Amino acid sequence: MNSESANSINSPSIKIGICGFGTVGGGSYNLLQNAGDEISRRVGCSIDVVRIASRSLKLEDIDTTAIISNDPFDVVNDPDVDIVIETIGGFDPAFEVVHQALANGKHVVTANKALIAERGNELFAVAEENSVTLAFESSVAGGIPIIKALREGLAANKIDWLAGIINGTGNFILTEMAEKQRQFADVLVEAQELGYAEADPTFDVEGIDAAHKLTIMASIAFGIPLQFDKTYTEGISRITPEDIGFAKQLGYRVKHLGIARRSGNGVEMRVHPTLIPRKRLLARVDGVGNAVLVHGHAVGSTLYNGPGAGADATASSVIADVIDIARQKLAGLSKPLLPALGYLSMHDDLAVLPIDEVETEFYLRIPVNDVVGVMAKISSILQDFDISIEAVIQKELDSKTVPIVILTHRALESKLNSAIAAIEALSDVSGEVMRIRVETFDD
């Protein structure tokens, strides 16, 4: 036996309790079992699961020496447990479980993005009061270590902006629509059959899941408190194969992005369908993959790409947090080395801008009656609101109604809204104007 292995065995073990034994909880347990020797070599001691709380797991279902119960509070109140892994999901009882664990002086690792985005400010305060860590790498982008990248790897940078494909379900749907010219509703059914989308897909397709993740990333990137309620959120259910085709003609792809940007007036936090240039690497991330593009003032643009969900990928991030905490405990640190959101002093003066105050380029698809002069009227309205046109596609169809597609230069959202209202009021406009924001992410 070499000295390294002997030291590992002689060191005290770190004892883990897992609350919730579904995809992520079970995956985390399996990773600790299957890679235990390698993890011990990295940490300097063994990491042992001693308690599991699950509503469905039975002792005969798993080969383990851990105590199994159906009450997560058995885990958080056990004095032998050093670190609690929370993979219950949702708010109830997850919030109470995490809160109690922290109050008991236990470190917590969670994959619960909704909990962090909406209640994180409160929970981080409890963690700080008790000198313990609340770690959450796995809450954003699955196996991609984006939290560590933003908080630690890019700590010397002032982050200018970030943009991410951070929901695999939405990315799968848009990819299928683009590659096979399929309708949104048809692809959604397939995504549900494949297990990519839930029976109720609202959180995924309407952008709520992505908004939770963007809220967390923006807080770390800009040093602002978590403010999920101020994140503008728009889904992909109105996107059509027609829009995707027109975007391709203009040199773009349609992606569902979370975008956070520091501007002169404050911080933008928004989730919505977005046209991005096809040449961008971000535009080529397809299927259920995730990717985050970050621009720092010193390093420039860096791209983080990988699996955004799944048992193994998410467990990779969960156990990475466990390893960090174990190292901290073995070093004898009396309090966490890193602030949870990366800043000891937050930028409380950076306001989150309402969407009306955001300026972008726009794609507009306007259904009009095929009559002379309608384009001139639309152009006049856009000019009245200081919106200039970059490109136009006007299709001649065997129909009384034709689409006019316009790509605008940068314009203020509030002005664009007023222009759309005026355009839709025209007698020769036969339906609602489809609007998709455009981002080029120039360096």
**pTM here?**
0.94
Q: Are residues 60 and 76 in the same domain?
A: yes
Q: Are residues 316 and 375 in the same domain?
A: no
CATH of the domain at 271: 3.30.360.10
Single out the residue of 18, 174, 204, 15 nearest to residue 113, CA to CA: 204
Q: What is the spatial distance between Cα 358 and Cα 338, in angstroms, rounded to a whole number? A: 33
Structural domain count of the chain: 3
- Report the Cα 60 to chain-centroid distance in Å: 36
Task: Identify the band that residue 9 occupies on the pLDDT scale cut at 50, 70 and 90.
Answer: very low
Task: Identify the band that residue 395 occupies on the pLDDT scale cut at 50, 70 and 90.
Answer: confident
Q: Are residues 138 and 191 in the same domain?
A: no
**Residue 213 appears among annotated catalytic residues:** yes
Mean pLDDT score, 39-44: 94
Q: Quick check: 362 and 438 in contact, CB under 8 A?
A: yes
Q: Are residues 124 and 158 in the same domain?
A: no
Quick one: pLDDT at residue 59?
64
Q: Quick check: 136 and 314 in contact, CB under 8 A?
A: no
Q: Are residues 157 and 281 in the same domain?
A: yes
Active-site option among 113, 148, 213, 255: 213
In a domain, 350, yes or no: no
CATH of the domain at 374: 3.30.70.260
Residue % of the chain over a pLDDT of 90: 88
Q: Are residues 162 and 290 in the same domain?
A: yes
> What is the SS3 string spanning the chain?
CCHHHHHHHHCCCEEEEEECCCHHHHHHHHHHHHCHHHHHHHHCCCEEEEEEECCCCCHHHCCCCCEEECCHHHHHCCCCCCEEEECCCCCCCHHHHHHHHHHCCCEEEECCHHHHHHHHHHHHHHHHHCCCCEECHHHCCCCCCHHHHHHHHCCCCCEEEEEEECCHHHHHHHHHHHHHCCCHHHHHHHHHHCCCCCCCCHHHHCCHHHHHHHHHHHHHHHCCCCCHHHCEECCCCCCCHHHHHHHHHCCEEEEEEEEEEECCCCEEEEEEEEEEECCCHHHHCCCCEEEEEEEECCCEEEEEEEECCCHHHHHHHHHHHHHHHHHHHHCCCCCCCCCCCCCCCCCCCCCECCHHHCEEEEEEEEEEECCCCHHHHHHHHHHHCCCCEEEEEECCCCCCEEEEEEEECCEEHHHHHHHHHHHHCCCCECCCCEEEEECCCCC
Q: Are residues 136 and 157 in the same domain?
A: no
In a domain, 339, yes or no: no
Backbone angles phi, psi at 296, to 5 degrees: -105, 150
Q: Are residues 71 and 107 in the same domain?
A: yes
In a domain, 347, yes or no: no
Q: Are residues 22 and 139 in the same domain?
A: yes
Mean pLDDT score, 21-32: 95
Range of the domain at 115: 3-143+312-330
Q: Are residues 324 and 294 in the same domain?
A: no
Mean pLDDT score, 132-139: 98
In a domain, 62, yes or no: yes
Q: Is the pLDDT of residue 8 over 80?
A: no
Cis peptide, bond prior to residue 93, ω within 30 of zero: yes
Q: Are residues 138 and 185 in the same domain?
A: no
In a domain, 118, yes or no: yes
**pLDDT per residue as tens digits for the range 230-284:** 999 999 999 999 999 999 999 999 999 999 999 888 999 999 999 999 999 999 9
Task: Identify the band that residue 397 occupies on the pLDDT scale cut at 50, 70 and 90.
Answer: low
CA angle 38, 75, 45 (to 5 degrees): 25
Q: Is the pLDDT of residue 60 over 80?
A: no
**pLDDT per residue as tens digits for the range 404-417:** 999 999 999 999 99
Q: Are residues 102 and 156 in the same domain?
A: no
Q: What is the spatial distance between Cα 276 and Cα 193, in angstroms, rounded to a whole number? A: 29
In a domain, 348, yes or no: no
In a domain, 99, yes or no: yes
Mean pLDDT score, 59-82: 91
In a domain, 343, yes or no: no
